[in-house]
Structure 1
Amino acid sequence: MTQQSRISPRLIVPDPDRASAFYQDALGAEQVFRAPAEDDGRPSVVEHRIGGSSFRVSPAVSSWGWLSPADLGGSAVLLEIEVDDPDAVGRRMTAHGAEVVVPIENRPYGRRSGRIRDPFGHLWIITGELRTLA
């Protein structure tokens, strides 16, 4: 019997609603589920979809071991997103408060890519087809 599996990253952030708004605005993510708010006013999980992929955001809760990149002093994971126009996505991300870590440019390995740190400390590789200069 073949078993289907799926992996869905969960990004730990201080404010899931603010992060959700960022990912919707900057990456075009669609919010597909939001859990009711907990006692502190934050939802325990907000699920998003981009194309055929999904990811979730949840609040930092140290007693559960859910620590944000700020709690850890950085992100131990790189999230890679392949898009039609890496430059446009990078511009949208930075316009919404992200920071360029490695500029998006044509790379010798045959991709156009760069690295962006979102406002919550998560690192994203934004990648796509090489851009030809006209």
Structure 2
Amino acid sequence: MATKKSLPRIYPHLIVKGAARAIDFYVETLGAKEVSRFADTKMNGHIVHAELTIGETTFSLSEEARDWKNDAPASLGGSPVILTVQVEDARAVGERMVHAGATVVYPIEDQFYGARQGRLVDPFGHLWIITQQIEDLSNEEIQRRVDAWTPDDSGTTKG
């Protein structure tokens, strides 16, 4: 029996304390679909790998296992990675996340670069940018707006 050859791809793998709760959180707040879940029955159901999708994007997660060097953000003092998810209604998704235990880092607001966007940290320590496109801008227009927004040498915003 031949195996299907797949193309290389990259997707995030989150390490969390409370993997089963994290799966429930991502399903409830981001509309994730659980594709698979594998647990080590010798370790009280420790989730060693679960795969989820949001839209066409795949991500996976597993339970923290410090002896395997799989450390969750809380064990490291925070996360250096930010996951961005594009949604149809950023405010509604942000509200669901907060209701389920996420904390707002930057509130969801209309941004000069054509997005309604904010940053939250989920109950497991992972950072998320929730974004909704509200303007269809060219790269040149975005750059013009970035240039106008960027503070000059005196520290004041141009434009």
TM-score by length of 2: 0.77
CA shift, 1:85, in A, is 0.6
Q: Return the letter of the residue paired with 1:83.
A: V
Name the counterpart of 2:139: none
Name the counterpart of 1:125: 129
Q: Return the letter of the residue paired with 2:132.
A: G
Higher helix share: 2
Name the counterpart of 2:67: 63
Q: How many angstroms apart in 2 are the aligned matches of 1:19 and 1:37?
A: 17
Give 1 or 2 for the bigger CA radius of gyration.
Answer: 2
Question: Is the aligned partner of 1:5 residue 2:2?
Answer: no
Tell me the alpha carbon deviations over residues 37-70 of structure 1, each in whole angstroms, 9 at most, x when there is no partner.
3422211011101110011110111111111000
The runs of 5 or more residues in structure 1 that have no matched partner are none
Taking the TM superposition and a 5 Å limit, the aligned residue runs for 1:101-120 are 101-120=105-124
CA shift, 1:124, in A, is 0.1
Name the counterpart of 2:97: 93
Partner of residue 22 from structure 2, selected from 19, 22, 36: 19
Q: How many angstroms apart in 2 are the aligned matches of 1:27 and 1:37?
A: 26
Residue identity (%): 45
Between Structure 1 and Structure 2, how many residues are aligned? Answer: 129
Q: Return the letter of the residue paired with 2:31.
A: G
SS of aligned partner of 1:127: strand
Q: How many angstroms apart in 2 are the aligned matches of 1:106 and 1:36?
A: 41
CA shift, 1:17, in A, is 0.5
Name the counterpart of 1:44: 48
Q: How many angstroms apart in 2 are the aligned matches of 1:113 and 1:44?
A: 32
Tell me the alpha carbon deviations over residues 88-133 of structure 1, each in whole angstroms, 9 at most, x when there is no partner.
10001011000110000001111110001000000000001228xx
Q: How many angstroms apart in 2 are the aligned matches of 1:39 and 1:105?
A: 46
1:98, 1:119 within 8 Å by CA — same for their partners in 2? Answer: yes
CA shift, 1:15, in A, is 1.3
Q: How many angstroms apart in 2 are the aligned matches of 1:79 and 1:47?
A: 16
Bigger CA drift: 36-45 or 77-86? 36-45
CA RMSD of aligned residues (A): 1.4
